[in-house]
Amino acid sequence: MKLESIQPTEENHYSLFQEALEQDPQVFFHTTAKRNLEAIANQGFKSSLDLGSGQLASVSYTKKSSSCLAHIGTEITDEFVVLAVRFETLDATKIVVNMSDIHVFSADILPSIIGYCDIPKGFMYS
């Protein structure tokens, strides 16, 4: 489900979603290339280790959508999406909670996808 995004600015702390989502303690954000969206919707989130594309054994989710922008940088040369997801609980041995993000070390712990917003190629924020 595509969600309406807002223009990230300094005034809104570079948020991509409405404040209700950004402030919900059970909602987290994950960014990926848009070409991965269908696979995530059908098969769930996978670590780079499980995908064979890296060595990280966890899937990371940020507490603020603005951290997703920091992850992809200021020169956006591909189409991305930022997914908003909800976890029922963070009280699990396979979830590590940090100050700005969480890392999930189990493919069996899947959040529900609330929706996503597009980050088009060439996207600019100020």
pLDDT at 5: 60
CA dihedral 26, 74, 99, 16 (to 10 degrees): -20
List, for residues 48-58, the tens digit of each pLDDT value. 898 888 899 99
- Say which amino acid occupies 55: Q
Question: Which domains are present in the chain?
Answer: 19-119 (3.90.228.10)
List, for residues 63-97, the tens digit of each pLDDT value. 999 898 887 877 778 899 999 999 999 999 999 99
Q: Where are the alpha helices (DSSP H) in the chain?
A: 19-23, 37-43, 48-51, 66-72
